[in-house]
Amino acid sequence: KAGVTQTPRYLIKTRGQQVTLSCSPISGHRSVSWYQQTPGQGLQFLFEYFSETQRNKGNFPGRFSGRQFSNSRSEMNVSTLELGDSALYLCASSLVGGARTDTQYFGPGTRLTVL
């Protein structure tokens, strides 16, 4: 079974632009979570989607948003990019997102550089 895929793998943008990142979960998985990883803050939870609905959100500004489609694929968008948004963006999928032991499996990440 194919793992979690993320596109693009690398991205360079300039301040003020916006960016959209894509995540395809493992087949059959319905929950997708997004994380940001930076050297200073480590891995931080952005938000989680299940059945096209955002169920949980981390402590990030409204410039960070996401959505999930009926096939469980998810996108996240960052508007008005800032230098501090340079990071590795990771998505993880899990089967149903409602059981206590629902293991998350991560994709390879998208490396975003903001100039």
Query: Where on the chain is the footprint of other proteins (CB under 8 A)?
Result: 4, 31-33, 35, 37, 42-45, 48-50, 55-56, 58, 88, 90, 92, 94, 96-109, 111
The residue among 32 and 81 lying less far from other proteins, judged by its C-beta, is 32
Q: Give me the count of residues in the chain.
A: 115
Identify which of 115, 17, 22 has the alpha carbon closest to the alpha carbon of residue 68.
Answer: 22
The residue among 81 and 90 lying less far from other proteins, judged by its C-beta, is 90
CB of 47 to other proteins, least distance (A): 8
Cα-flanking dihedrals φ and ψ of residue 30, to 5°? Answer: -115, -10
